[in-house]
Amino acid sequence: MGHMPKSRRNVLAPLAWSLLALLAIAMPGISESRETAQARNAPPASPAQVAAPAQPAATPQARDTTPQPQARNTPQAAIPAPGGPAQTGNAALSRETLGAGDSIRITVFQNPDLTTEARISQSGSIVFPLIGEVGLGGLTTAEAGSRIADQLKRGNFIVNPQVAVAIVQVRSRQVHVLGQLSRPGNYILEDAAARLTDVLTLAGGISATGADTVTVLANRGGKIERHEIDVPSIFHGGDPAMNIQIENGDTIFVERAPVFYIYGEVQRAGAYRLEPNMIVMQALSLGSGLTPRASERGIGIHRRMPNGKFVKLEAKLTDPILADDVVFVRESLF
């Protein structure tokens, strides 16, 4: 670049500073004009954008470097099994064995023409289409279905048979109820877990002439077990285990309640039920008391001894009464 004379440099310097000053003054105005033009050309804002407040800029949070304890493997809640409480009765029923007299329904999947209802004979068998006689006595419903399916498969009647057996009516589980009950007889145990009180209820309960003690002859595996059970004690603070389970083939016997007899100078002579711990005074009250001619000192008891002979005893009002005692009241002499 050529050398500029000193006089010319002195003239241009002030002009340069003046231009710089004018540019500094004009720049804000130019920026405002650009922002105004951009605002005019921009599309109008939606109401939601207008109403939304400005969000502060997100400040990056400090990362927590403290080691956190690892979560333990918490066991999940147990899922109810298919054989839950709602199906307990069905599961128990499926474990029951079939017996003579039971009515069953047999269905074969995709073979409705083979659906059969039959009663098991005394020999424990039924007659089924295609395979003829088949023994089911002593089997559960699942085992019976497997046996029928096996014979259908062996005979080449069905390639892969699926057989279901259901109990329609139970008649093989019977209990014998005898003695002093409202309705003695043979009763079918609909539930394999029937208790003594359940069977007594089926028979209408113990009659007025029946004893409180019940005799149960339990058939357990071919052996007979004898149980003497005081029924009222089951409910009056006794052992609930005395309400034993009754099974197929058991016999329940209710004997006649023990009695005593009154005759002589009483309002109503006759035979009366002996209650526990009864005394002479209570016995006379059952006979409606003494007549006007009776003597309280003339009360006696005829009692049978272990050898079978009767003895005559002078009795007081507080003496106990035993089974088969005969209470007599003499007539007063005055």
Classify domain 174-256 at the CATH topology level: Outer membrane lipoprotein wza fold like (3.10.560)
Please give the average per-residue pLDDT across 206-224, as a whole number. Answer: 91
Q: According to the model, what pLDDT value does residue 4 have?
A: 52
pLDDT, mean over the chain = 79
Q: What is the value of pTM for the model shown?
A: 0.56
- Supply 37's token pair: 């033009």
Confidence of residue 238 (pLDDT cuts 50, 70, 90): confident
> Above 70 in pLDDT, residue 277?
yes
**Domains 174-256 and 259-331 fall in the same CATH topology:** yes
Domain boundaries, the chain: 91-169, 174-256, 259-331
11-15, 107-111, 162-166, 182-186, range with the lowest pLDDT: 11-15
Superfamily of domain 259-331: Outer membrane lipoprotein wza domain like (3.10.560.10)
Give residue-wise pLDDT tens across range 97-113.
888 888 999 999 999 99
| Matching CATH number, 91-169, of 3.20.20.100, 3.40.50.1380, 3.50.50.60, 3.30.1950.10 | 3.30.1950.10
CB under 8 Å, gap of 24 or more: what pairs does 196-203 form? 196/229, 196/231, 196/243, 196/244, 196/246, 196/252, 197/231, 197/234, 197/243, 198/246, 199/175, 199/246, 199/252, 200/231, 200/252, 202/177, 203/177, 203/252
